[in-house]
Amino acid sequence: MSRRAYVLAPLLGGAACLLAGVNAVYLVGQSQQAVLLRLGQPAAVVNGGLSPTAAGLHLRWPFVDQVALLDRRVLELETPPTEGVGAWPTALQANLRYRIRDPLRFYRALGDGQLGAQRLSQRLQDSLDRALSGGSAQGAPDARIGLDKAVLSDLRGRAAGMGVEVLDAQVVDAAPPSSTVEAVSRRMQDAEARQASQIKADGEQRRRDLLAQADRDAADARGEGERQALETRGDGDAQRTAILGAAYGADPAFARFFRRLEAYDQAFNPDNTTLVLSPDNAFLDLFGHGPGSEGKPPG
């Protein structure tokens, strides 16, 4: 045997002994009960029953015995939401409170703690389905109580051989799945968005209608104002013409004088071209004679 083998053999032996020593001890807590499995078969129960007396460290055969730890406390589980059947159109689910009374029987019937809870949940679901198929009338005041009793009675009858003590079972309205809530929320948001868009479109159309009506009212007002202005101007022109006609008929000299003044007003308008005339021009003879002259310059 080589020197290296002489060194490794004690080390491997020590490691094997240490591993065996660790594997030979297991701990059972105050809230736990254990099923000791020898070569995969249930062989003994540690700290079982309602009064714990064997919590703590225990020995087992290394690599031969295994330990399945189960809870001693009151446990709860619930079924997934189930669509109502017949008179129960709403989604329902069953809630269960139970205790593992016989760990050995529980392990043989359902398995370890996690697997046992899953299988027990399936038993609870089966009991709920059977109770719903019984056709309880939802409208009756005691219908839900009757449904609870039906589930509890059916499950207790089935759990008796599984080492499970059923404490309570209730059927409640299940909250809708998150996918359903999200779908309803999206539909509500879409409906609100469509309503907001419709309100906005209606408001925009109303705004355009009001602006168009205001433009029409303004055009009508301007047209009416212009019509009244034309009528007033026409009445004034008619009165002016009548007054001037009467004045011209009463005094021809005044008529000639007034017409000459109008000619001066148009000729001497600052917007017109400047006139350069000699003082004795016949156009200016009125400035030297006045309204009674005959329009001739003095001789």
Residue 116 near residue 98 (C-beta atoms within 8 A) = no
Reduced to 3 states (helix: H, G, I; strand: E, B; else coil), residue 82 is strand
Rounded Cα–Cα distance for residues 140 and 161 (Å)? 34
Beta bridge partners of 63: none
- Per-residue pLDDT band at 6 (split at 50, 70, 90): low
Average pLDDT over every residue of 18-45: 76
Rounded Cα–Cα distance for residues 82 and 127 (Å)? 12
Pick the range with the lowest mean pLDDT from 74-78, 86-90, 170-174, 196-200: 86-90
Res 299: pLDDT: 40
Please name which of 163, 198, 180 lies closest in space to residue 75, comparing C-alpha atoms.
163
Reduced to 3 states (helix: H, G, I; strand: E, B; else coil), residue 280 is coil
Res 10: pLDDT: 58
Q: How far is CA 195 from the centre of its chain?
A: 14
- Per-residue pLDDT band at 122 (split at 50, 70, 90): confident
With a pLDDT cut of 90, the percent of the chain lying above it is 11
Res 243: pLDDT: 82
Please name which of 137, 129, 133 lies closest in space to residue 155, comparing C-alpha atoms.
129
For 230-279, the pLDDT digits (tens) are 989 889 988 888 887 787 777 777 777 777 777 767 766 666 666 676 76
Res 211: pLDDT: 92
Locate the domains of the chain by residue range.
3-71, 75-175, 186-250, 258-299
Res 195: pLDDT: 92
- Per-residue pLDDT band at 142 (split at 50, 70, 90): low
- Would you say residue 295 has pLDDT above 60? no
Pick the range with the lowest mean pLDDT from 69-83, 103-117, 257-271, 276-290: 276-290
For 41-60, the pLDDT digits (tens) are 888 888 876 666 777 777 77
For 168-227, the pLDDT digits (tens) are 887 877 666 667 667 878 889 999 999 999 999 999 999 999 999 999 999 999 999 998
Reduced to 3 states (helix: H, G, I; strand: E, B; else coil), residue 96 is strand
Tell me how many degrees the CA angle 94-98-104 measures, rounded to the nearest 5.
130
Rounded Cα–Cα distance for residues 79 and 155 (Å)? 13
Rounded Cα–Cα distance for residues 35 and 50 (Å)? 15
Reduced to 3 states (helix: H, G, I; strand: E, B; else coil), residue 34 is strand
Pick the range with the lowest mean pLDDT from 8-17, 33-42, 261-270: 8-17
Residue 69 near residue 113 (C-beta atoms within 8 A) = yes
Res 137: pLDDT: 45
Provide the whole-model pTM: 0.48
Rounded Cα–Cα distance for residues 202 and 144 (Å)? 49
Please give the class, per CATH, of domain 75-175.
Answer: alpha beta
- Per-residue pLDDT band at 143 (split at 50, 70, 90): low
163 CB-near residues (< 8 Å, 6+ apart): 100, 101, 102, 103, 104, 105, 106, 107, 109
Phi, psi values for residue 57, rounded to 5°: -85, 140
With a pLDDT cut of 70, the percent of the chain lying above it is 71
Res 3: pLDDT: 60
Average pLDDT over every residue of 1-29: 60
Res 199: pLDDT: 93
Greatest distance between any 2 Cα atoms in the chain: 173
Tokens 């015995």 belong to residue? 65
